[in-house]
Structure 1
Amino acid sequence: MSIIIGTAGHVDHGKTALVRALTGMDTDRLAEEKRRGLSIDIGFAWADLPGRGGPVRAAFVDVPGHERFIKNMLAGVTGIDVVLFTVAADDGPMPQTREHLDIVELLGVSRGVFAVTKADLVDEGRVAEVRAAVEELTAPTALAGSPVVAVSVVTGQGMGELKRLLGLACVDAPRRGTAPFFRLPVDRCFAVKGFGTVVTGTVASGSISKGGEAALYPGARVVRVRALESHGRAVDEVSPGTRAALNIGGVAFREVRRGMMLADRALAEAVERSRRGRRGLRVDAVVRFVAPPGRTGGGRRFKLHHFTGTAMAELALEGVRAGREAGAGRYRARLYLDEPLLLLRGDRFVLRDTSGPATAGGGVVLASYFFRGLMPAASRVDYDGLEGTRSAQVRAVLDRSAWARAGELALTLGVGAGELAGTGGVVVGRDVAMVEERLGAVEAAVVERVRAHHEERADEKGLPEAVAAEVAARRGGGAGAAEAAAKAVIDRLVAAGRLRRTGGLLALPGHEPRLSKGLGPVEKAVLEAARGLRPLRVAELGTSLPFDAAQVERVVRALVERGELVRLADGVCIGRAALDEAKGKLIACIEAKGRIRTGEFRDILGCGRRLAIEILEYFDRERLTLRQGEFRTLR
């Protein structure tokens, strides 16, 4: 088990010194940091902490405390499991203490330990005052009741207890989600002589193995993972919550920067395809503000921090049907991001005010609309559904549609496409996810269209499948999957026995072609014309008989389907009895002589050469005869 512990606290409250004392590692790596004695960028270390069932390997992310470096602090603290919060005994809680506490809570961190540092500089009474101030400050937060321990890196006071408490917090920390897509937000990138580009970060979701491929996002540039390290050791695979260094091939280190992300190749490529011709991203989310939000109906902009990336975002609450306060200071809202950060459902983000840099709020993503066809209108967003069961989430995203492409819907909800198949009320077929309760109306419309076709054209075997698919597509709605979804609906109807599929035609069970009474005279005339060894040339027949040409064609088609006529070639038919007689004569002659010429066959039948050729070519296609030059033999 690997846990990420992030530091937090006001500038000069001893975060870096405390991490050094716990791990033996100096997280200040920049010359400027060492010169000024001030953390500017995030630093990393690791150590084994005592847990209930044995040691717990913990990675430490040390963040700067100065307000000028809050962007770096946010890049480091996003994605931590446990917070190590420092409050100096001589200062007590300070402005950045409160802002860091807001940020940690907005990011959903519920396990932590508060260290009252520099305890050697004050008396016990002052330590008690600071402890009480910390408890009061954290009382309304998710970190209420977290242990508070007085420590000194100079004397070693409380360090053993701090390690023990951190170990217990690691054991109790909520486990990370199981999103299937690999994502590693890049926090550092550098080159190692002889190895090439190395990127580091904390695995946010999914996993990747040595030798695997990923894509650099934004964009979809493919890179190969040559080697993996975690906590200074070579490993074969890294999983969520792991601090990792990846030696990658296919990109120069100067082309990679903090804020980019190594992501599952299919994920990055799908998102890039969806973005062609447009910028930004829209997401629905639950947002909580540090202070009442005031007017946010359009035009108020924030800087959104997500893992190590940032983007300007506009927040809309007003005019969104369910965008009112959702209780406990929570608002449901739509965010419009200028840049396409790779936010997935369940990801947390922080909003910073642009007018006077301060943390304004943060939230949790409910749905990311990488695919515009899946985005419901802002006025119709079903936030209750988005916060409900997986089945409810699917219905909310699809809005009034019955289906969507399974891969696109899965990405919108941050799950694997395979997971949709196990969602109650959701059917997956032909790579399309369908809401079962909405399919009833679609299926009924298709069945009714087939029934109507039988009534209109009882002489035909059925309705062309393409026509039925058009009916399903119109009734079921969009999200760009209409063709595949319509075919999936037809598959369901056939599997359920509600329709019968024959050669691209759909019919009701038990349907048999029959001519209507009104076509009786036409049928009689056509059969009369087909008596004996006379070819029916349909185009000529339509003009020679005293009936509408379309009616004649319908009757001929019905008689072919019933088997009373046989189609010799395009537009040419012959009576079944006459063809059977010709077949018998042909077989008898060839069996007697071994082969037959076209002229001989014509003379035996007593017909014209053209008809003899048409009959012989029909038998060739039926694999009764084989043409060899001017002769034909039996196969």
Structure 2
Amino acid sequence: MDDAYFTIGMAGHIDHGKTALTKALTNVDTDRLKEEKERKVSIEPGYAPLETKDGSHVSIVDVPGHERFIRQMIAGVAGIDLVILVIAADEGVMPQTREHLQILEFLGVQHCIVAVSKIDRVDAELLDFAIEDIRESIAGTIFSEVPLVCVDSISGKGIDQLRRQIVSELEKTVFRDAYGSFRLPIDQVFTVRGQGTIVRGTIYEGIVQKGSPLTILPGGYKVRARQIQVHRQGQRISRAGQRTAINLSGIDKEDIERGDVLVASDHFLVTNTIDVNLQLVENLSSPVKQRMPVKVHTGTSEVMGRIVFFDRNEVIRDDDDVLCQIRLEEKIVVCRGDRFILRRPTPVETLGGGWVIEPKGNKYRFGETTMDMLQKKKDGTPEDLVKDVLMKHKLLNVKQLIQYTSFDEPGMKAAVNKGIDTRQLVQVTGDKYALAKDVIMIKDMVSQQLQNRHDEFPMRPGISKAEIVQSFNGQFPKRLVEFGLDSMLSTGEIQKDKQFLALSGFTPYLPEKWKTQMEAIINQLEADGLQVKRWTEYITHTTVLKQEAEDLHAYLIHTEQAHPLTRELIIHHKTFTGALLMLKAGTNETFGLKEAKDALQVSRKYLVPFLELLDQYKLTKRVGDNRKWI
């Protein structure tokens, strides 16, 4: 899983050993604030990199466990792929542990490991009792069958087993969409002297590159990614699932706050009215009433709003999902499918959670008509179905889209036009369409393929277009790959040299490892003039490998530092230009082999291929047994 990026949440009750367990796994102390160390309580989420043997890129977020810091807990958990729920063996399941379980379920976290901590503090009988209590507590939840690992962070018991279980669970996890439009909900903002404003967060989707123009929403501030770091290491690129710090140019710290979202596209919606699919907790302390004030947590934002029902005036208990609306006091950035948590501001409690079915809702009338409309939105819009079909088939025309979705032609054209307007779809050719994120994926894969080629074979001019297209065989249609390449050429992301494609600005160069020996070969080639040795003889007394020798041969000819007389005989460019001038000076407009030999004083072994090279370069033209200067 070399290209997989995951975030693990370390959740649980206060003082159950989350920070100690994170340190045991990563050797990083995530309590970084002075007040955290003094009080031995995690106030802000702390992050640490976890090394795995399979090469996955994993971040662990140590989530605060104290009730008053629950908003940070929600911000920390939002965006994780796997949660490790830490429950101390000497205390067992606590009320806040149950609330954390509900929050994780509402946030759509599918993968969980229960770590029973502090096992050295209890005897075998008490440990068995704690495990039984835990199993009973998670029975009936989506986590009822999750693995349970007993650990002690101080002695190290069970830590290796937990590492293995983490890798096993991550193998079942579908990692985040690196090819959607870049989106990073901001959870920390700070400044560093000499660096300026820095934001941190976990990338929900997409890719960000150093130098990328970005926008901060909902404010609409235009910025640029000056530098990128992942766990304090500078990176050229960072992608979905990675915990990332970005140094921004063009903005002050005071203009950004937790809950803002950093994006790279202008199709994200800023909204204060969301239609939602809500699931309530089992045991509400009091009814949820029409237009009741609620606190909404989504991503890293925390906003007050009012809940609006269209088929009831209050909910006391409802095991089914509730379709309703939340009208917010501040603007946020959300997409369809984003998860949220709903809390009562006073008395403070978690009410429920769910997902956004319409990011930009309108005002609707109370009644059955609105409920039918919300149900249709929940089931999926025409645009959603079009995206689902294209996700599978990659490139389709309108007729094919109609066949796969059963829409009529006007409805399909409206869905496609909306997809184009919101930059979800691209028109590839004629009336064929594809997902914009598939084009982004192709472009990213091409960039990576070219970068790998440049790094591995720096003397080569790049990769032929045919080879690149062939590398996508079976994954994307040829026409879609060609569309991506044409787009990259038009925007200057890549360049073309004859039949070869390369990253913009790339120039072939001698590899550092062989540079000294190769320069000596080139110098000797120049010194030998027209009477050069066979190419293999220049390599014999060096340590240059066969592949590198072949690449050097091709590099010298492609960059016109040398010219081929035959496959085995090449001459330096200075030799070529010198011989050309001598031949011109020593012959008339038309000349034969004898006049050429007299002018250059070389044997037929070198003379004949040199003259044929001049014919090939259209400097001379063969006329019978003679040649004529062009």
What are the superposed Cα offsets for residues 300-357 of structure 1, whole Å, 9 maximum, x if unpaired?
A: 1210001111111222234379x99998532111221221110110100001111211
Provide the residue aligned with 1:514 in structure 2: none
Contact (CA 8 Å) 2:282, 2:319: kept in 1 or not?
no
* 1:169 and 2:161 aligned: no
How much does 1:187 deviate? 1.3
Q: CA shift at 1:8, angstroms?
A: 1.0
> Which whole-Å CA distance do the structure 1 matches of 2:341 and 2:173 have between them?
21
1:417 aligns with 2:420: no
1:200: Cα distance to partner? Answer: 0.8
Q: Which residues of 2 match residues 435-450 of structure 1 at below 5 A?
A: none
SS of 1:22's equivalent? helix
Alignment correspondent of 1:345: 336
Say if 1:47 and 1:57, in contact at 8 Å, map to a contact too: yes
**Is 1:312–2:315 an aligned residue pair?**
no
Deviation at 1:296, TM superposition (A): 4.4
For residues 341 and 101 of structure 2, the distance between their equivalents in structure 1, rounded to whole angstroms, comes to 12
Residue in 1 that maps onto 2:30? 27
Residues 286, 331 of structure 1: 8 Å contact kept: yes
SS of 1:105's partner is helix
The answer to whether the Cα contact below 8 Å between 1:296 and 1:317 also exists between their aligned partners in 2 is no
User: Could you say if the C-alpha distance between residues 20 and 33 of structure 1 is closer, same or farther in structure 2, counting changes exceeding 3 Å?
Assistant: same
Structure-to-structure mapping, 1:164-563, within 5 angstroms: 164-177=164-177, 180-267=180-267, 271=269, 281-291=272-282, 296=288, 298-319=290-311, 328-369=319-360, 379=367, 380-381=369-370, 382-391=373-382, 416-418=423-425
User: Aligned equivalents of 2:416 and 2:42: distance in 1?
Assistant: 43
CA displacement, residues 151-205 of structure 1 (integer Å, 9 cap, x when unaligned): 1111111010011111111221233357733211111122222222111100112
Q: Name the CA shift for 1:7/1:193 in 2 (closer, same or farther; >3 Å).
A: same
Deviation at 1:420, TM superposition (A): 10
Q: Distance in 2 between matches of 1:230 and 1:8?
A: 22
Structure 1 pair 420/341, CA: closer, same or farther in 2 (3 Å)?
A: farther
Change in 2 beyond 3 A, CA 1:15/1:356: same
Q: Aligned partners of 1:133, 1:179: CA distance in 2, in Å?
A: 42
The alpha-carbon distance between structure 1 residues 410 and 130, as it changes in their structure 2 partners (threshold 3 A), is farther
List alignment gaps of at least 5 residues for structure 2: 387-406, 436-630
Q: How many positions carry a matched residue from both structures?
A: 406
State the alpha-carbon separation in 1 of the partners of residues 104 and 184 from structure 2. Answer: 20
Given that 1:320 and 1:333 are in contact with CA atoms closer than 8 Å, whether structure 2 keeps it comes out as no
Distance 2:415 2:383 in 1: 16
**How many angstroms apart in 2 are the aligned matches of 1:416 and 1:326?**
41
Aligned counterpart in structure 2 of residue 38 of structure 1, from 25, 36, 41: 41
The 8 Å contact of residues 288 and 315 in structure 2, kept in 1 or not, is answered as no
**What whole-Å deviation, never above 9, does each CA across 1:60-89 have from its counterpart, x for those lacking one?**
111111111111111111111100110001
> What TM-score comes out, normalization by structure 1 length?
0.59
CA distance in 2, matches of 1:332, 1:351: 14
- Report the counterpart of residue 117 of structure 1 in structure 2: 117
Change (3 A) 1:88 1:162: same
Aligned residue for 1:160? 160
2:382 counterpart SS class: helix
Task: Give the letter aligned to residue 108 of structure 2.
Answer: G
- Residues 299 and 315 of structure 1 are in contact (CA less than 8 Å); yes or no, is this contact kept in structure 2? yes
Tell me how far apart the structure 1 counterparts of residues 101 and 264 of structure 2 sit (CA, whole Å).
Answer: 32
State the AA in 2 paired with 1:173: T
Alpha-carbon deviation of 1:236?
2.0
TM-score w.r.t. the length of structure 2 is 0.59
For residues 41 and 11 of structure 1, what CA distance do their matches in structure 2 show?
13
Q: Which has the larger radius of gyration?
A: 1
Contact 1:325/1:332, CA 8 A, preserved across alignment: no
3-state DSSP of counterpart to 1:99: helix
Contact 1:291-1:360 at 8 Å conserved across structures: no
Bigger CA drift: 171-180 or 119-128?
171-180
Gaps of 5+ in 1: 273-279, 429-635
Paired position in structure 2 for 1:452:
none
Measure how far apart 1:387 and its partner are.
Answer: 3.0
Percent of aligned positions that are identical: 32
* CA deviations over 1:407-456 (Å, ceiling 9, x no partner): 995599xx74317999x9x999xxxxxxxxxxxxxxxxxxxxxxxxxxxx
Q: What's the secondary structure of 1:21's corresponding residue?
A: helix
RMSD: 3.6
CA distance in 1, matches of 2:174, 2:143: 13
User: Letter of the aligned partner of 2:7 in structure 1?
Assistant: I
Q: Which residue of 1 aligns with 2:138?
A: 138
Structure 2 counterpart of 1:336, one-letter code: R
What SS class does the counterpart of residue 99 from structure 2 fall into? helix
